[in-house]
Structures are given as C-alpha cells and as structure tokens.
A and B are shown apart, each in its own frame.
Chain A
Amino acid sequence: EDQVTQSPEALRLQEGESSSLNCSYTVSGLRGLFWYRQDPGKGPEFLFTLYSAGEEKEKERLKATLTKKESFLHITAPKPEDSATYLCALQAAGNKLTFGGGTRVLVKP
C-alpha cells in the first residue's frame, strides 16, 4: 500500500531561520511527487511536481528535492508570509494522489 509520512508535524521558525521539511514515501511505482501549500480556510495551492530521483525545483524561498525514498522542502530565510501547512502527495497508479498529514509551519517576525 502506498504511504506518505511527513515530519515534523509542526515547525516554529524565526524569520530568516532556514529549515527543511521531510516527506518519506513507499510506493510501488512513483509517477510524481507533489508539494502543496495550504493556508487556513483555503484549498491546497500547487507548488511543485518532482518526477525522478535527483530532480530539484525552486520557487522564491522554496526548494524541493527528491530521492528514491523521500523528498525535502527547503525553506531558505523564511518570512512570516511563508507560514502555512505544507502537504506532500505521491502519485502512483492512475490519477490518484495520496497525501501526507502535512507540516504546519509558523514563521515569527
């Protein structure tokens, strides 16, 4: 069975304090690893798709990387507006996404 585990569950950062979020997965055949950002009261917002081990993608202060067993979302010099819940999801067969439990990030000024 496909499984996705995110850690830590919550992360408190000072503004400018870089950190990384982890997404570990087990899947029989990975088609894609997705990262989403979710703000309170809103739907998840797409950030990145990674398809193969070694792939990296960047967007502003966020950088996502992928290995054969896990993905990392690095937040460099975060700002308060980066506070959100970050969700990873894997896509195996068909068009199904299996989501992890998310990491709640709070960046304090």
Chain B
Amino acid sequence: DAGVIQSPRHEVTEMGQEVTLRCKPISGHNSLFWYRQTMMRGLELLIYFNNNVPIDDSGMPEDRFSAKMPNASFSTLKIQPSEPRDSAVYFCASSLAPRFRGVTTYNEQFFGPGTRLTVL
C-alpha cells in the first residue's frame, strides 16, 4: 500500500521564482497537512485540510505561501516569489478523521518523504 507521495523530492531554485510542491495523500484519508522543518524552528504546521477544506492556515508564514486541495487525492503548496529563508524540508502528512455522532475524532498522521527546497 503506497504511503503519502510527495514531489519533487529535491528542488533548487533562485530567489524570486515560483515553487510548487505536490502531495498525494493515502487513499481514504480525509485530512491533509503541510509542515515545514528547519534546524532552527523544528517541525511547524503550515496549514491543514479536512475533506478538502482548509481548516487552519495560521502557520502559513505570509502571503507568498498558498495551498490548495482541489480533490481528495491531491494538494499543492506554492511559494511565489521564493526567498532564501524559505529553504527547508517540506512535509505532507495525511490522516483519517472519522465523524461519529457528529463528533470528529483524529487519528495519527502519516508523513511523506518530504521535499528539500533550496532557494539560492
């Protein structure tokens, strides 16, 4: 069974360029998360979706960052324009969040292999 798939695995770009990171969650999962990991700040949540709807984007650094989830099997994280301080490893994760009697319960998140972004 395929896990979370991310592409590209590595991206090197120049300052000012647009960068698009892609994620395919585990089939059947209905929650998707974008994280950023750096040595200085550790693992930070950027945004998450439930049933393709953005729920919390309070971790998105600034307007240069945007994320979309057009369907249950695909999400993108876009940075435009990119800056050297955006260099980091970006992870996508998914989980199953079932609703029972109107209450959503949250299960463990499964992470993809990450995209290492370097902005020169």
Cross-chain contact of A43 among B42, B45, B114 (Cβ < 8 A): B114
The answer to whether the Cβ of A22 comes within 8 Å of any Cβ in the partner chain is no
A-side contacts of B106, CB under 8 Å: 31-32, 91, 94-95
B-side contacts of A46, CB under 8 Å: 108-110
Cross-chain contact of B45 among A41, A45, A96, A101 (Cβ < 8 A): A96
The answer to whether the Cβ of A44 comes within 8 Å of any Cβ in the partner chain is yes
B-side contacts of A97, CB under 8 Å: 33, 45, 109
* Mask: chain B, 46-61; 1 = CB below 8 Å from A; 0 = not: 0010100001100000
* Mask: chain A, 28-51; 1 = CB below 8 Å from B; 0 = not: 000110101000011111100100
Q: Do the beta carbons of A94 and B112 come within 8 Å of each other? A: no
Interface size class of A (residues with CB under 8 A): 20 to 34
Known: A42-B114, A43-B93. A96 touches B43 (CB 8 A): no
Residue of A45, A49, A96, A102 contacting most chain B CB atoms (<10 Å): A96
Bound together, the chains give a CA A36 to CA B95 distance in angstroms of 14
The answer to whether the Cβ of A87 comes within 8 Å of any Cβ in the partner chain is yes
The answer to whether the Cβ of B34 comes within 8 Å of any Cβ in the partner chain is no
A-side contacts of B43, CB under 8 Å: 44, 87, 89, 99, 102
A residues apposed to B, CB below 8 Å:
31-32, 34, 36, 41-46, 49, 87, 89, 91, 94-102
B residues apposed to A, CB below 8 Å:
4, 31, 33, 42-45, 48, 50, 55-56, 91, 93, 95, 97, 104, 106-114
